[in-house]
Chains A and B, each alone.
Chain A
């Protein structure tokens, strides 16, 4: 199993550009989520999905779109990048949203918006 795979690992964008951060898991997990982590801070939840076709907003959803057309993939889209979106982004998955399951995290995507 590869676990949770995020691509790319690093990205530099110009203000106003769009891009998609990819996240894929091969564990047949229902629940997937995206977080961002700014320097010296904990992780903040952006969006999450409890299964294919279902998504919902987290703590900081503004400026980001998600969709979940398959169980395996949960891409995060930035439609018009802003410097405030410079951050490290982590994708996570778990078997279900039950509190008795553990979450698995990807290695992160470091995004810089100039």
Chain B
């Protein structure tokens, strides 16, 4: 299975942009990059996903390196509510029943 590497924790100031990195040097051409986050005492929630091109939605942006060996989740203006564990996950489109396998993620602390 292709794996991802994320920093254990990061800090950011409220109302500033946050860039959460993810390395996936062994990614295959059919791996989609997914991000989920888990707020305290809640279940995970979907954030964004992409294959090759950068993606934007109402929650965040996903910037994917040209060689696809890394990606960055961008929160444009962090709020206290964005304090959570962020998981970067690869999902292989070749697998008919591909499962979501979580790593340990990055714990994001937001400073007021």
Contact = CB atoms under 8 A, between A and B. Distances in A.
Interface string B9-52: 00000000000000000000000101010000111111001000
Contacts of A50: 97
A39 interface: no
Contacts, number: 61
A97 B101 contact: no
B43 A45 contact: no
B81 to A, nearest CB: 17
Interface residues of B, number: 25
B7 interface: no
Interface in B93-112: 93, 95-105
A77 interface: no
Given A90-B44, A102-B46, A104-B46, A45 B101 contact: yes
